[in-house]
């Protein structure tokens, strides 16, 4: 068993031949992002907004490369038209790993509405969602999600539950609220 | 406002295309690319406004052996302006972006865009780290567009100021799955259908 789900995620990326990883940073993704950035065979692309990463992944696939996109739950809101219009219309494969906020012990009320809307909005534009509550879930779901995405041309999102990431405690003077 | 006509400009520049791959942004740019003749190595967008440049980046990084040219309009590019920062940071040498800038949202009723009110797209690209940025306004400028798009080490941002004109639609295939598979089959051969 891996110490952290990101180790399994990175291993599955390698096994599946993922080359491009587009991301917008999130604290819950930092271990996975670091692991990908340190891997010379993975081409990481830091995006300014999550919508960009959807286009990046589609472009990679047009060129014969597999990509994965990483984002926080609030970023899902930025991707919806790109997913609906591009990924679903043209039947592009897609695997998104979404670290959740706004659902388990959230201390920032501004995170709650989008966090709660992630699954219904993704489902509404044709994305199948898997919810990972444990490291083992994340391991299996990322492996299965990659196969489903790239062997069956499906858009898949693996949602990493906030309970697994650990909710942040937000207190005056402590900072680090986002 | 220049006297340049978008399809003439594109036709002249694309005479130098060779085996370069082309992506077009939705609306006028897609009709413009189609007006040059449909090709398997064209991927036309009929939606996904704001994402043409990023699709170009993903493709350019996947295929460093190929030139990748994105043709789009000012409205489409303005919607995805953040991509300039991402592309400027990665600096793909094989990517060029050509904006046919008529300072209008043509498809929706010719409403003015910000490029006619002060936004300098080539200036923004330069500020984001694009090594080659040009605004082309004359026939003389346009004589160098083919080289900018297809030869010069990128990323290239070429903004062509064109007249606001009504043109007949040149309609390419609209089925996204077909366009994707056709493009991939052209580029990857039989492997496109069997990978992974």
B44-101: per-residue pLDDT in tens?
Answer: 999 999 999 999 999 999 999 999 999 999 999 999 999 999 999 999 999 999 999 9
| Prediction ipTM score | 0.97
* Mean pLDDT for all residues in chain A: 94
- Using a CB-CB distance cutoff of 8 angstroms, which residues of chain A are in contact with residue B195? 64
Domain ranges of chain A: 5-164
Instruction: Note whether A56 and A47 are within 8 A (CB).
Output: yes
* Per-residue pLDDT at B196 exceeds 80: no
Nearest Cα neighbor of B101 from B82, B125, B128, B85 is B125
Q: Cα separation of B47 and A82, whole Å?
A: 8
* Domain A5-164 -> CATH class: alpha beta
Cβ within 8 Å, pair A52-B90: no
A170: confidence class by pLDDT, cuts 50, 70, 90 = low
- Per-residue pLDDT for A167 more than 70? no
Buried b (16+ CB within 10 A) or exposed e, A39-64: eeebbbbbbbbbbbbbbbbbbbbbbb
Measure CB to CB from residue B58 to each of A57, A89, A91 and give the nearest one. A57
CB count in 10 Å sphere of residue B30: 28
* Domain boundaries B6-194, corresponding CATH code: 3.40.50.970
Contact: B179, A90; criterion CB under 8 Å = yes
Contacts of A68 (CB under 8 A, 6+ apart): A13, A18, A20, A21, A22, A57, A95, A96, A97, A146
**Interchain proximity B62–A64, CB inside 8 Å:** yes
Residues of B in contact with A60 (CB under 8 A): 58-59, 61-62
Write down the pTM of the prediction: 0.96
Q: What is the pLDDT of residues A123-137, one digit of tens each?
A: 999 999 999 999 999
């Amino acid at each position: 068993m891996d110490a952290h789900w990101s180790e399994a995620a990175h291993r599955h990326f390698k096994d599946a031949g993922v080359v491009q990883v587009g991301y917008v940073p999130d604290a819950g993704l930092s271990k996975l992002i670091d692991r990908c950035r340190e891997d010379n065979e993975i081409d990481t692309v830091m995006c300014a907004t999550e919508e960009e990463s959807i286009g990046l992944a589609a472009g990679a696939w047009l060129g014969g490369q597999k990509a994965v996109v990483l984002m926080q739950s609030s970023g899902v809101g930025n991707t919806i038209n790109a997913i609906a219009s591009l990924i679903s219309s043209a039947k592009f494969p897609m695997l998104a790993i979404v670290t959740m906020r706004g659902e388990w012990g959230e201390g920032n009320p501004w995170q709650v509405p989008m966090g709660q809307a992630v699954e219904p909005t993704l489902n509404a534009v044709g994305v199948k969602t898997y919810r990972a509550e444990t490291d083992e879930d994340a391991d299996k779901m990322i492996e299965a999600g990659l196969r489903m995405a790239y062997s069956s041309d499906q858009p898949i999102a693996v949602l990493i539950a906030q309970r697994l990431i650990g909710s942040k405690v937000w207190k005056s003077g402590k900072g680090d609220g986002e | 406002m220049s006297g340049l006509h978008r399809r003439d400009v594109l036709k002249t520049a694309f005479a130098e295309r060779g085996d370069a791959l082309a992506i077009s942004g939705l609306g006028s740019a897609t009709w413009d690319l189609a007006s040059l003749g449909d090709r398997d190595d064209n991927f036309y967008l009929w939606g996904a406004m704001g994402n043409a440049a990023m699709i170009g980046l993903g493709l350019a990084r996947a295929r460093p052996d190929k030139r990748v040219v994105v043709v789009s309009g000012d409205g489409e590019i303005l919607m995805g302006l953040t991509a300039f920062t991402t592309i400027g940071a990665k600096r793909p040498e094989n990517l060029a972006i050509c904006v046919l800038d008529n300072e209008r949202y043509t498809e929706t009723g010719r409403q003015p865009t910000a490029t006619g009110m002060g936004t300098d797209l080539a200036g923004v690209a330069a500020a984001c780290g694009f090594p080659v940025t040009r605004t082309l306004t004359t026939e003389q400028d346009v004589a160098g567009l083919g080289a900018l798009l297809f030869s010069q080490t990128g990323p290239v941002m070429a903004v062509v100021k064109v007249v606001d004109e009504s043109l007949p639609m040149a309609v390419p295939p609209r089925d996204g799955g077909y366009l994707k598979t056709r493009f991939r089959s052209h580029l990857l051969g039989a492997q496109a259908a069997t990978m992974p």
